[in-house]
Amino acid sequence: MPDHSMQIEPWESRILEDFSQDDHSLWEVFGLIRGERPDASDSEVFKAGRQFLETWIGRGWLQLAGDGDMWGATGTINDILPLVDRIGMDATRYFVGSPLLRLTPRAEADLQRLRGTA
């Protein structure tokens, strides 16, 4: 069972800040990882992005954004990892049906606590 503790890396904190400003499509998560790890190979970006999604979903930090039309190839947040596993490396680039993600209220509260403003 993965550890979803509140210890986060500086790069993860920057992505959390980015998500606090705007919703992101699933494929954009991998772009954010790529931006934080510019020397990583595509397979390393995929692995890091999948782990990131697993951790944040496990923490209860991500939800589907918008209405059903914005969810693309998913019906619930629990469909994200199976989708990533099914399409593999294609998840790291724009694809039709890429679901829109946003922070949950829990993530927003944790972000405030991490900033020391809660």
Asked if residue 3 has pLDDT above 60, the reply is no
CA 22 to chain centre: 12
Banded model confidence at residue 4, pLDDT cuts 50, 70, 90: very low
Q: Average pLDDT, stretch 14-42?
A: 94
Total number of domains in the chain: 1
Asked if residue 43 has pLDDT above 90, the reply is yes
* Distance, CA of 110 to CA of 117 (rounded, Å): 10
Mean pLDDT of the chain: 88
* Distance, CA of 42 to CA of 23 (rounded, Å): 23
* Distance, CA of 7 to CA of 41 (rounded, Å): 25
User: Phi first, then psi: what are they for 50, rounded to 5°?
Assistant: -65, -45
Q: Is residue 118 part of a domain?
A: no
Higher-confidence position of 28 and 69: 28
Asked if residue 24 has pLDDT above 90, the reply is yes
Q: Is residue 2 part of a domain?
A: no
Q: Is residue 3 part of a domain?
A: no
Asked if residue 77 has pLDDT above 90, the reply is yes
Q: Average pLDDT, stretch 3-28?
A: 84
How far apart, in Å, are the Cα atoms of 48 and each of 32, 33, 73, 102, 115? 11, 7, 21, 19, 24
The tokens for 97 are 């049906």
- Domain, as residue range, for 95: 10-110
Q: Is residue 18 part of a domain?
A: yes
